[in-house]
């Protein structure tokens, strides 16, 4: 499957809530394959469909040697938290400590429409929460305290990639039902 361009901070698709998947078809399986290939090529610990310009509730992860995906996630979070470094493929080279729940139970579906439950802690819990945030139009910098967010925005403005023309994707190779740019 082809590696897709990753949308960068500033692209409006990253701020739009994604739409639930209703068709578990060949196009969805192709989207999951493209997300996986793009994530592994980057490399990253996760990638959500909006990051490649597709406004559907799908993400992939690669944590501790395990590759997985989840469609239409619904999360249950622990009250116990973890505070650690977090970055994002849509914000290259920007890393800040971010508080997340230490444990997560994620319910959703695989690409074939079969129900799945993923239980994770530490890095997997962080990745699942981060990617689910993308599906809600939330970036990890939105979860930082005001001082850290200000520092993150300064880093973004000073980065080599900030303000570069975003990749133009006129027609997504995936069925988006009108929910992509």
Q: Tell me the two tokens of residue 141.
A: 């910098």
Residue 35 Cα to chain centre, angstroms:
10
Buried residues in 50-74 as b, exposed as e (16+ CB within 10 A):
bbbbbbbbbbbbbbeeeebbbbbbe
Which of 20, 119, 131, 158 is an active site residue? 131
For residues 45, 51, 54, 59, the Cα torsion angle rounded to the nearest 10 degrees is 20
Alpha-carbon gap, residue 180 to 175, rounded angstroms: 9
Instruction: Please identify which residue in the block is written with the tokens 């929460």.
Output: 129
Three-state SS for 73-97 is: EEEEECCCEEEEEEEECCEEEEEEE
Active site residue 27: no
Instruction: Please identify which residue in the block is written with the tokens 């975003």.
Output: 166
Cα 37-67-162 angle, rounded to 5 deg: 50
The catalytic residues are 131
């Amino acid at each position: 499957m082809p590696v897709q361009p990753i949308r960068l901070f500033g692209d409006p698709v990253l701020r739009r809530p994604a739409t639930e998947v209703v068709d578990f078809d060949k196009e969805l399986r192709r989207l999951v394959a493209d997300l996986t290939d793009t994530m592994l090529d980057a490399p990253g610990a996760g990638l959500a469909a909006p990051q490649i310009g597709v406004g559907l509730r799908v993400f992939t992860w690669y944590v501790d040697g395990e590759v997985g995906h989840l469609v239409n996630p619904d999360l249950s979070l622990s009250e116990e938290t973890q505070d650690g470094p977090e970055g994002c493929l849509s914000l290259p080279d920007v890393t800040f400590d971010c508080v997340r729940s230490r444990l997560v139970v994620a319910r959703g579906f695989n690409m074939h429409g079969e129900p799945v439950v993923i239980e994770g802690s530490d890095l997997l819990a962080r990745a699942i929460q981060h990617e689910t945030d993308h599906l809600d139009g939330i970036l990890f910098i939105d979860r930082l305290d005001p001082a850290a967010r200000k520092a993150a925005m300064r880093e973004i403005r000073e980065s080599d990639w900030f303000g570069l023309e975003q990749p133009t994707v006129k027609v997504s190779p995936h069925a988006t039902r009108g929910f992509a740019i």
